[in-house]
Amino acid sequence: MSKRPLLEAKDLHISFSGMTAVAGVDLTIHEGEFVAIIGPNGSGKTTFLNLCTGYLKPNKGEVYLDGTPIVAMAPRKIAHHGIARAFQIPQLFLDQTVLDNLLIAMAAKQGIWSWFQNLRTARRRAEAMAMLTMVGLQDEADQFASALPEGKRKLLDIVLALALKPRLILLDEPTSGVSTIERFSLMETLMKALREAKVTALFVEHDMEVVQRYADRVAVWDSGRVLTEGPPAEVFSNEEVLRKVVGV
Amino acid sequence: MLGMIIPLVVDGLTNAALIFFVAVGLTLVFSVLRVLNVAHGSFYSIGAYIAASLCLWVVSAGLNPWLTFVALLASAVILAAALGPLVEATLIQWTFGKPESVQILATFGLFLILEDLQRIVFGVTSIAEDTPMLLLGVTSIGDMVYLNYQLLLILAAIVVVVALRMMLVKSRIGKLLSAVVFDREMALSVGINTKRLFLFAFTLGVFLAALGGALAAPTSGAAPGLGAETIVLAFAVAAIGGLGQIEGAALAAVIVGLARVFAIYFAPQLEAVAPYIVMLVVLLIRPYGLFGSDQARRI
Amino acid sequence: MRPFIYLLAALAIVGMAAVPFTAPWLQFVLTLGIANGMVALGVAILLRAGLISIGHAMFFAIGAYCIAFLSRMGINEFAALLVLGVTGSAVAGLIVGAFVVRYRAIFFAMLNLAISMVVYSLIAKMHGVTGGTDGMPLHTPTFFGVLLDKPGFDLALYYFAIVLMLIIGYLVHRYWKSPLGYALSAIESNELRLEYLGVSARSVLLIAYVVSAAISGLGGVIAGSAIGHILPDFGYWTSSAQFVLIAVLGGIGGAAGPFLGAFFLEMLHSASVNITDAWNLITGIALIVVIVFLPSGLYGLFRKRRRSGS
């Protein structure tokens, strides 16, 4: 794991109608790291993700992706620069099949502008099926995305993000809505896929066991700012954290 | 110079008043029901036809000519009562929860039906009866002569703006409407009977459109194609003001009314397109109108 | 299943080709049907993204008026008229499209209607330039260099239109199966997701809009050439309504649907010309019937549920 900073948020501020949602956040994610963000509901975690993906513009501060400032960019451009997003509520093409969802995402990466070539080329299909098999969705390939249960929808959402072959993937509560039993197999699969593809990951998570097991570093969020950060062992032995976040 | 401007302004404001009636109905229905009724302009034209027909009947039956005013108001009431609940309870309700494209096609279909029905019922020639306008006479200010009817129209429009705003702020039903507009899910979960509110709002919208048409009938009569002209004009005005914004519709109506009248005076060829040029310019600067905002934001 | 459809289609084409000899009175109707089908196909392209243009007749009219102007200017060769007419519509589509693709749903629909009414009223009012409500005549052009009399030209136009229908239909079919075509569907499904995948919905839509305008203009060129006289009504909202109905009805049938719908409607028109002219009423009722009673048909159009592997 290199120590090269990939994403750097510097002094990020944003307020909505007088209420400060993110109040001066400095956070650095290094290449290859899996960083978890934890914190009570409403503490600004998803807002932070939105700021990093162009959905919101900050009042102050900057976010650098490998040195390039990205806060003023449209989500589209940020995606091109290598950040992919998976959402808390999976954003899928519900009236397309699972396979087509992925094919569209892959075509978006490879260049959507071909109008004469078929979407479902043999090569693209094979690549897509490989990705689906990797996460265990191969049996649902021909089902409509709307027919998928929540857990699988989340998986598909993440796979779509991975199709962009991003450098950094932002996951918003990847295990929420997933049954406790399936949670770990999902994370195992996901982590394996991410490590293989050498993708850096930042994920918002509420399940502390998942965080403890899979995160290299944890950033604790509280009232719009980073309370503390460090390896899970360190963070989870911090009394203030335990009190505010874990609820002990 | 002033002598030239004032009559134009009065004409413009009169124009504005008539457009306002139909535009505010459209925007009100949109803000409460989240449906943009393509057939809304047809309520205006049917209102005009009924008003003109009723006035003709009053005159030909030898009744007191002042009864034509009653006829104007009655037309709007009759139309609203007859079509408002009917259309809302059937077509509009049916489209709730369906994809937007279905809503668009449904109201577009209704528009097509109403346009031909008007042609079938009222014929292809235009009808007009200007008794109400003549009855009110004229006012002379300086050496300019103004039709009192115009002033009545402007006054009526102002009354409507004020009345609507007061209703929304002060009356119980108005507050319920405001709640539904602000956050429909929350309103539902608090137990507000949205069905009745939708019915009320829609019927009110029909009434306002029909009133506009009825009041316009003495000045410009009713002719085939009026419904189509009116819906695009009403949409342009509502869009300029911002969909769902009542005061926005009023301001937009004034701008458009003045634009049309000044166009007639300076560039008659452009009179019909002046409102749309205004709309284009406004939308290029503020994509959702002067006071509007982007509605759809998922996530 | 597939080969059967191809066989049916082939038979239909042969049938159409034989019409000038077997049922000559159908030739004009079918030519207009193809022209209308083109515009409906243009509407269907945008429907794929969930957008309904209720003003598309404007491009039909622009195509027709372009060739009328060109003809008046002295250009008298059909091939040239065709290319220039389509180009003119495409340019108009680019200008209008650049503005309207920022909008969705009802705003998009109404803006298209409003702009088409502006175009119509400009055409109808500028008597000096466009002949106003009298319209403009179109002199029979030479057909790829060959000078023909009107009946001869009509025949050549008919066969040419059939060829164009097949080519354009095929090209649109490929378009719909391509990444760009799927991107169009994706806009309706989840535009947010598409943007986060790095695709500009506006650009995808603009391309679709220009293509749609060009095809509609092509329809206008064919119709104008067949009728020989161009009128403002080409661009009236009643025409737009017809195109929408055809697109909605025929949308289930892929790229062929609009043409089938157009043929059906055109024949219905000519059959009932003496019975009724309440076409708006009929169209309105038909639209509502379709969306109420054929939800799967409509869902086939708007939700694009396809059998896997097709």
Per CB-CB distance under 8 Å, the chain C contacts of B45 are none
DSSP character string of C24-73: THHHHHHHHHHHHHHHHHHHHHHHTTT---TTTHHHHHHHHHHHHHHHHT
Distance to chain A for C218, nearest Cα, Å: 20
Listed by number, the residues of chain A in 135-154 with a beta carbon closer than 8 Å to a beta carbon of chain C are 142, 144
Residue B33 lies in a domain: yes
Residue A227 lies in a domain: yes
- Secondary structure letter of residue B124 according to DSSP: S
pLDDT at C157: 92
Name the residue among A74, A105, A119 with its Cβ closest to that of C178: A119
Residue C121 contacts B, CB cutoff 8 Å = yes
A203: domain range? Answer: 5-92+148-246
Closest alpha carbon within chain B to A92: B299
Kindly report the pTM of this predicted structure.
Answer: 0.90
Closest alpha carbon within chain A to C186: A93
Residue B258 lies in a domain: no
Residue B64 lies in a domain: yes
Name the residue among C47, C278, C284 with its Cβ closest to that of B109: C284
For A181-207, what is the mean pLDDT?
Answer: 86
Residues C292, B94: C-beta atoms closer than 8 Å: yes
3-state secondary structure of B169: helix
Tens digits of residue pLDDT in B32-62:
988 899 999 999 999 999 999 988 888 888 8
Terminal C-alpha separation, chain A: 33
Whether A97 contacts A140, CB under 8 Å: no
**What is the rounded average pLDDT for all residues in chain C?**
88
pLDDT band of C251, cuts 50, 70, 90: low
Least confident of B24-33, B96-105, B271-280, C88-97: B96-105
Tens digits of residue pLDDT in B244-261:
889 999 999 999 999 999
Closest alpha carbon within chain C to B294: C103
Closest alpha carbon within chain B to A88: B299
Tell me how many domains chain B contains: 1
Q: Return d(Cα B138, Cα B223) in angstroms, integer.
A: 26
Residue A237 lies in a domain: yes
Per CB-CB distance under 8 Å, the chain B contacts of C103 are 287
Residue A74 lies in a domain: yes
Residues A119, C199: C-beta atoms closer than 8 Å: no
Residue B255 lies in a domain: no
Residue B76 lies in a domain: yes
Least confident of A11-25, A89-103, B68-82, C292-306: C292-306
Per CB-CB distance under 8 Å, the chain A contacts of B299 are 55, 87, 89, 91
The closest of B226, B229, B224 to B120, measured between CA atoms, is B224
Per CB-CB distance under 8 Å, the chain C contacts of A53 are 196
**b/e sequence A199-220, b meaning 16+ C-beta within 10 Å:** bbbbbbbebbebbeebbbbbbb
Tens digits of residue pLDDT in A143-193:
999 999 888 898 899 999 999 999 999 999 888 877 888 788 888 888 888
CATH number, residue A10: 3.40.50.300
Residue C109 contacts B, CB cutoff 8 Å = yes
Residue B123 contacts C, CB cutoff 8 Å = no
Residue A97 lies in a domain: no
pLDDT band of C299, cuts 50, 70, 90: very low
pLDDT band of C252, cuts 50, 70, 90: low
Tens digits of residue pLDDT in B66-107:
888 888 899 899 999 999 999 999 988 888 888 888 888 899
Residues C288, B110: C-beta atoms closer than 8 Å: yes
Residue B127 lies in a domain: yes
Residue found by looking up tokens 């990705």 in the block: A131
Tell me how many domains chain A contains: 1
**H-helix or E-strand spanning residue A62:** strand A60-65
Neighbouring chains of A at 3+ CB pairs under 8 Å are B, C
Residue B218 lies in a domain: yes
For C57-86, what is the mean pLDDT?
Answer: 93
Please, what are the domains in chain C? 22-302 (1.10.3470)
B213: domain range? Answer: 17-224
Size of interface A-B (CB pairs under 8 A): 5
Closest alpha carbon within chain B to C119: B273
Residue A87 lies in a domain: yes
The answer on pLDDT for B187 being more than 90 is no
Residue B252 lies in a domain: no
A222-236, C87-101, C143-157: which has the highest mean pLDDT? C87-101
pLDDT at C306: 41
